[in-house]
Amino acid sequence: MLVLGVDPGASATGYGIVARSDGALRAVEYGSITTSSSDPFPSRLQHIFCRLAELIRRHQPDVAAIETLVYAKNAQSAFKLGQVRGVALLASVEGGLAVAEYTPLQVKSAVTGYGAAGKSQVQRMVQSLLELHEPPRSIDAADALAVAICHHHSAALRHLMRGRG
145 in Cβ contact with 30 (< 8 Å):
yes
72 in Cβ contact with 82 (< 8 Å):
no
Among candidate residues 76, 17, 79, 82, the one with its CA nearest the CA of residue 51: 17
Query: Alpha-carbon distance 160 to 53, whole Å?
Result: 32
Written as one letter, the residue type at 25 is L
3-class secondary structure, 149:
helix
The yes-or-no answer on residue 39 being catalytic is no
The yes-or-no answer on residue 143 being catalytic is no
Other Cβ atoms less than 10 A from the Cβ of 149: the count is: 26
Q: Pick the catalytic residue: 39, 54, 62, 67? A: 67
Q: What is the dihedral of CA 12, 107, 77, 89, to 10 degrees?
A: 70
The yes-or-no answer on residue 67 being catalytic is yes
Which residues does the annotation mark as catalytic? 7, 67, 140
